[in-house]
Amino acid sequence: MPANSSPEGLVVRSVVLAKHLHARPAGQVAVLSARHPRTTVELAASGRRVNARSVLAVMGLGAVTGSQVQVIVAGDNAAAIADEIVDILDKPDLDE
C-alpha cells in the first residue's frame, strides 16, 4: 500500500472496499480512532472528508462496494493507526 509521509507525520493509505461500509466497521474505525487522542484521523471518499471518530460521519460517507476510501492520519503512531484502519476496511466481509 502506498504511503505518503510528511515531516509532521502525515500518513495516507487507500483501500478499495470489498463490501459496503456499514455500522459495524464504521464503529470499529471510530473506536480505534478515539483510542488515539493525540492523532487526527480522517476518512475520505467521493470528495468528502470526515472525522473518523464519529460513527455517523463515517457511515455518512456512503462508501459502497468498490469505493476507494482514503485513511488520513497525522500525529503519534500515524502509520500503525492507518494500517489498523485499512485492515478493518480491507476485510472481504466487513461483518467479521
pLDDT at position 94 is 46
85 sits in which H/E element: helix 78-89
Three cell numbers written together for 70? 482514503
Domain CATH for 10: 3.30.1340.10
Q: What is the pLDDT of residues 41-91, one digit of tens each?
A: 999 999 999 999 999 999 999 999 999 999 999 999 999 999 999 999 998
**How many domains does the chain divide into?**
1
In a domain, 42, yes or no: yes
pLDDT at 18: 86
pLDDT of 2 over the 50 cut: no
How many CB atoms are closer than 10 A to CB 22?
Answer: 14
This prediction has a pTM of 0.85
Is 94 part of a structural domain of the chain?
Answer: no
pLDDT of the residue at 9? 85
Q: Is residue 43 part of a domain?
A: yes
> What domain range includes position 57?
4-89
5-53 residue pLDDT tens: 444 589 999 999 988 999 999 999 999 999 999 999 999 999 999 999 9
52 assigned to some structural domain: yes
pLDDT at residue 96, rounded to an integer:
46
Radius of gyration of the chain (CA): 12
Query: What pairing do the DSSP bridges indicate for beta strands 68-75 and 10-16?
Result: antiparallel
Run of H or E residues at 51: strand 48-51
Element (H, E) at 55: helix 55-60
Q: How far is CA 49 from CA 45, 65, 70, 96, in A?
A: 7, 18, 9, 25
User: Is residue 26, in this structure, part of any structural domain at all?
Assistant: yes
Does residue 95 belong to any structural domain of this protein?
no
Tell me whether residue 96 is in a domain.
no
